[in-house]
Amino acid sequence: MIQIETTPEVGAAVQGWRRSGQSIAFVPTMGNLHRGHLALVERAKREAQRVIVSIFVNPLQFGPGEDFERYPRTLAQDMAALKAAGTDGVYTPAVADIYPRDLNSMTYVEVPALSDILCGASRPGHFRGVATVVNKLFNIVQPDVAIFGEKDFQQVMVIRRMVDDLSMPLRIISAPTIREADGLAMSSRNGYLNPEQRGIAPGLYGQLLHCRDRIVAGGRDFPALETEAAAALEKRGFRPDYFSVRRANDLGLPAGADTDLVLLCAAYLGSTRLIDNLRVTLGGT
């Protein structure tokens, strides 16, 4: 496994592989890797002959007062885990390499509409930061395929839309959310939780499952279900940001006849913001 720190080195490695006819899968991450990330690497290995993982805590996707500074950086552990997982190259650029110019006067990628709702409504500029860095990383790595986690459902939709709108020449694959034994979706931010909060945290997934059951049993008053779920989260000790029933194909508000839905939620425990989601597919013969 090679560690690559500069853009020209990425080009050299990737071109060498390409010349020998090998395809390249790419997994972008912010590091502090857990089994969810490693599942993406596994998937990447099935999709291409070579796998590149990037580790880059992207300042552009953090808002003022968010956790950019204290985001966990665990490079030595991450490298060991990636090596054991059979990764070919790890790209660990410095912030100044990715953003050599003033962040306020650079070119951005904006994916409208999808970026302004749900997590985008509470984190203005977040998806612009994600789309911009992912676009840059795609241009640097030039993969045939990139793998993203469904844990960040809205993020995958934003990236798919960007790739489609800008005719970017790669495939996007999404992979299922990996959970702890008690249902909590794995996340680097789970490490911020104190023991009491960690005990409460699986309730987020519990509420998603409960809401899914209500819908499967015929519940169609989605606003009422959302209000009820947010109230239940609050009762359990969360500070809910949103709990929303959406159409899975475009994150639009569903009508009663829609059958492919996704439940999405974000909630705080203390200052830690957790997100999760669950697909609900109805009927179907």
Return the range that interacts with ligand AMP (CB under 6 A); candidates 148-156, 163-171, 208-216, 232-240: 148-156
Measured torsion, CA atoms of residues 86, 88, 93, 98, in degrees rounded to the nearest 10: -120
Nearest to 124 by CA among 71, 57, 61, 67: 61
Q: Is 40 one of the binding residues for ligand AMP (CB under 6 A)?
A: yes
Under the criterion CB under 6 A, does residue 145 sit at the interface with ligand AMP? no
Which range of residues in 35-43, 108-116, 132-140, 219-227 is near ligand AMP by CB under 6 A? 35-43
For residue 267, state whether it binds ligand AMP (rule: CB under 6 A): no
For 142: left if phi > 0, alpha if psi spans -120 to 50, otherwise beta; the answer is left
Residue 186 found at the interface with ligand AMP (CB under 6 A): yes
In DSSP terms, 245 is beta-bridged to: 263
Alpha-carbon dihedral sign for residues 70, 75, 81, 82: positive
d(CA 103, CA 266): 28
**Residue 178 near ligand AMP by CB under 6 A:** yes
Q: Kindly state whether residue 87 participates in binding ligand AMP, applying the rule CB under 6 A.
A: no
Which residue bears the tokens 């989601």?
277
Interaction between residue 90 and ligand AMP (CB under 6 A): no
Distance CA 238, CA 266 (A): 10
CB under 6 A: which stretch of 108-116, 120-128, 179-187, 251-259 binds ligand AMP? 179-187
Nearer to ligand AMP, 44 or 261 (CB): 44
Size of residue set near ligand AMP by CB under 6 A = 17
Q: C-beta of 228: minimal distance to ligand AMP in Å?
A: 26
Q: Looking at the annotation, which residues are catalytic?
A: 37
Among positions 132, 154, 177, 190, the unique one binding ligand AMP when judged by CB under 6 A: 177
Residue whose CB is less far from ligand AMP, 18 or 71: 71
Does 152 bind ligand AMP (CB under 6 A)? Our answer is yes
**Contact (Cβ atoms closer than 8 angstroms) between residue 28 and residue 56:** yes
Task: Give the tokens for residue 92.
Answer: 């660990």
Side chain identity, residue 266: A
Bridging pattern class, strands 260-269 and 272-281: antiparallel
The residues of the shown chain that bind ligand AMP, judged by CB under 6 A, are: 29-30, 36-37, 39-40, 148-149, 151-152, 175, 177-178, 185-188
